Structure 1
Amino acid sequence: MRLVRQIMSLPISLEVPADAADAAERAFAWLREVDRRFSPFRADSEVTRFTPGGPHSEEMREILDLCRTYEHRSGGAFRAWLPGRGFDPSGVVKGWAAQRAADLLRAEGVGEFCLNAGGDVFAAGRTWSVGIRHPDQPMAVCAVLAVRDLAVATSGSYERGEHVIDGRTGRPARELVSLTVVAADLTTADAVSTAAFALGRDGIAWAAAQPGCLVHAVDAGRRVHHSSALGGLLVPPGTMAS
């Protein structure tokens, strides 16, 4: 059973067994709560009302820790605080929230599912085929991965334009058009892919060096780069699983 809901201004799809519909709706409810509480576009959200001194909710403290961790690891290429802008943790919130939704499903006994939150995917219970969108052809993929109990997150400029900012310069990151990270959880995959994209070409090797991460990237010259170990997950053309 495939369910789709519009949350966070994007389609979020969830494939689950038919008897898991109630658990799926609770996962969607959590994602709606995240959108309400942590959207930078809502006047009453925790993000919009954020002050450094707090008080902060437990979830906000988690998000702050993620932002600080990846700002440090990326040498400032990833930043949730940019000059002239308010606090915006969007680069980590979606993956964190989607991973929490996946954890909720597992806690309720849903062992087999595929959650796709606007390109951030967690595939559980069996092998699923996850496509990486072609940066120049919206209806095509440039690679397909066969993953089980893994997360896949992609950062790119082809869907939302130049929205990833290099925090070191304050300018849009333009050296890559797509960077995908495969990891054990979506919190890591999403944060690493966003920070790596901000780093530019150096981000490919940086992401591959992060613990448990595999990388597929397309640079601005349309050259493809990927971790050698990713080859075991790449699906040959014409042999895709479901």
Structure 2
Amino acid sequence: MTRRAFVEQIMGLPVSVHVRGPGADSPAAADAVAGAFAELRAMDAVFSLYRPDSQLSALNRGEPVHEPLVDEVLDLCERARQRTGGYFNAYLPEPGGGTRLDPSGLVKGWAVERAAGHLDGYEFYLNAGGDMTVSGSWRVGVEDPAQPDQLLTAVEVVDEAIATSGGAHRGAHIVNPHTGAPARGLRSVTVIGPALTWADVYATAAAAQGPQAVTWLATLPGYEALLVDDDGALLATPGWSLPA
């Protein structure tokens, strides 16, 4: 079966696209992938917290912003806050008072989902730093947060999305919005489901909540999760088969 891979550095991380099947090696497929990468670069220009010229940076400086995409993301963030009991919150407390807008726990999955729209008609996976959406059936590895070069398990993902949150690569960057303190209790959370935007949100919210989040995750229709606690023990929702 024909298969072609593309990789670019976007949003400060490697983004890879694999296309396979009829037409995978065609100029049209390459153009579709280029469109997906261009979409991600455009979203980074709007939402990056590391670029002073982004719309999000302007918003955090208190400057007026008139951008429909920002309005769309802020609306999604409010829905995410309500769905997660406040464990996902784009407004994080700042030392000394005040809040800072940081929707990155939603934006990456949302942006990747938008970018994947350019690949309609192809069998593909699009992976941005562990947040992945796929068309077709792909075997996806879940890394061990204690040894990121090793896998805990591998799962079959079919026309769905998979997202992982945790501190294996970025340290203790997830905050419990209810306390303002760094999240504790979990090394990683991996969520599989139909929409990457929400898989990303649910993984972030569960990491903020801690090990008890497995009970909440089990109530989410269409989504399954694997959690690794601070001791390395595995927790999972009923539909996820734990590795032997």
TM normalised by structure 1 equals 0.89
Moved over 3 A (4+): 51-56
Structure with bigger RCO (C-alpha 8 Å, 6+ apart): 1
* Alignment match, 1:7: 10
The one of 87, 108, 133 aligned to 2:101: 87
The one of 34, 37, 44 aligned to 2:53: 44
Q: What is the distance in 2 between the residues matched to 1:89 and 1:148?
A: 27
Q: Tell me, which stretches of 5 or more residues in structure 1 are unaligned?
A: 238-242
1:70–1:195 contact (8 Å) kept in structure 2: no
Q: What is the distance in 2 between the residues matched to 1:161 and 1:88?
A: 17
Q: What is the distance in 2 between the residues matched to 1:29 and 1:176?
A: 34
Instruction: Give the deviation of 1:87 after TM superposition.
Output: 1.0
Alignment pair present for 1:171 and 2:174:
no
* Alignment match, 1:97: 111
Q: What is the distance in 2 between the residues matched to 1:184 and 1:94?
A: 16
Letter in 2 for 1:86: R
Q: What is the distance in 2 between the residues matched to 1:44 and 1:95?
A: 22
The one of 193, 207, 211 aligned to 2:203: 193
2:58–2:64 contact (8 Å) kept in structure 1: no
**Secondary structure in 1 aligned to 2:164?**
strand
Alignment pair present for 1:27 and 2:36:
yes
Q: What is the distance in 2 between the residues matched to 1:147 and 1:137?
A: 23
2:133–2:160 contact (8 Å) kept in structure 1: yes
* Equivalent residue pairs, number: 230
* Alignment match, 1:240: none
Q: Tell me, which stretches of 5 or more residues in structure 2 are unaligned?
A: none
CA RMSD of aligned residues (A): 1.8
1:95–1:190 contact (8 Å) kept in structure 2: yes
**Secondary structure in 2 aligned to 1:130?**
strand
TM normalised by structure 2 equals 0.89
* Alignment match, 2:84: 74
The one of 28, 48, 71 aligned to 1:61: 71
